[in-house]
Amino acid sequence: MATNQMRREAAKRKLASQQERRATQAKRRKQIAVITSAAVVVVVVVGVVLLSTLGGSGNDTTSSAAGASATEAPAAAGTTPDQIPTAITPLPTRPTALPATATCSYPSDGQAAKPAQAPPTNDVSAQGTVAVTLQTNAGTIPLTLDRALAPCTVNSFVSLAKQGYFNSTGCHRLTTSAGLQVLQCGDPSGTGAGGPGYKFADETFPQLTYGRGILAMANAGPNTNGSQFFMVYGDAQLPPNYTVFGSISPQGLQVVDSIARKGTDSSNGPGDGKPVQPVTIQTATVG
């Protein structure tokens, strides 16, 4: 027959066992919570990288992201777009027209990827259009720049083209995934981090949308425009953070389509990397 002393000892052992089990369960719950929190942080960081790496003009945002992915096995080479929309997106218009002239600012921003001078800053026209032709190894891409949309951007682009800044430079990025179908050019270094040695402010407005035929500036954050630009040949589901400054002709879009159909090497991630067919801007001619 169990004595009172024996019952007390058994109760103590049972209590100790329960406490140990509860401590183990609490530790396991804490570990699960930490793992879940870490997973959420990773998802958020990946989202930020995907948005920010569209830029990189004069900054190392794109090159850092590319460097991080270099240790990972890239997706299969030659990732091509499943579908390229055929409808051309109309060029947006500003809800309120700008004055006839603008005053621009082009402050220094590190070392230029290729020697270039900043453009004039005073009495910059905000009226009319400028024709620019990109002659590439894949074909001719005619562009129409719209001063009424982005006078300071057009002023910079025309100045760089006249200086020969874009000549003999590669287009370092092609995206082919649904929601982002662009060819990005304008970095003589080919790294995604090069710029002209100066930067300038965004010329955006909330109503901006992007789609096939739109020409816009790449950036690495607010007011970091330099020389990198992207040509939208399909979908581009982006926030209105990228300055639209012109359009691509139907002839030019056919050339970009042919580049896209050859695919991207996915070196930055699935559907995002260098064009499988190397693309070089041989000359950029104004007029």
Q: Which residue has the tokens 């691509």?
A: 248
Question: What pairs with residue 275 in β-bridges?
Answer: 264
Amino acid identity, position 130 = V
CA pair distance 179, 261, nearest whole angstrom: 16
CA pair distance 32, 224, nearest whole angstrom: 40
Its pTM stands at 0.77
> Going residue by residue through the chain (287 aa), what tens digit of pLDDT does each one get?
555 555 556 555 655 565 565 555 544 443 333 322 333 333 333 333 333 335 444 433 333 233 333 333 333 447 899 999 999 999 999 999 999 999 999 999 999 999 999 999 999 999 999 999 999 999 999 999 999 999 999 999 999 999 999 999 999 999 999 999 999 999 999 999 999 999 999 999 999 999 999 999 999 999 999 999 999 999 999 999 999 999 999 999 999 999 999 999 999 999 999 999 999 999 999 99
φ, ψ of residue 237 in degrees (nearest 5): -90, 85
φ, ψ of residue 200 in degrees (nearest 5): -155, 165
Instruction: Render the chain in DSSP notation, one character per residue.
Output: ---HHHHHHHHHHHHHHHHHHHHHHHHHHHHHHHHHHHHHHHHHHHHHHHHHTT--TTSSHHHHHHHHHTTSPPPPS-B--S----SPPPPP--SSPPPSEE-----B-S--SS---PPP-SSEE-SSEEEEEEEETTEEEEEEEETTT-HHHHHHHHHHHHTTTTTTEE--EEE-BTTEEEEEE--TTSSS----SB-B-----TT----TTEEEE--SSTT-B-S-EEEEEEEE---S-S-EEEEE-HHHHHHHHHHHHH-B--TTBTTEESBSS--EEEEEEE-
Q: What is the largest CA-CA distance in the chain?
A: 108
**Domain 53-286, CATH number (from 2.40.100.10, 3.40.430.10, 1.10.275.10, 1.10.760.10):** 2.40.100.10
CA pair distance 169, 161, nearest whole angstrom: 12
pLDDT of residue 253: 98
Structure tokens at 196: 């002209």
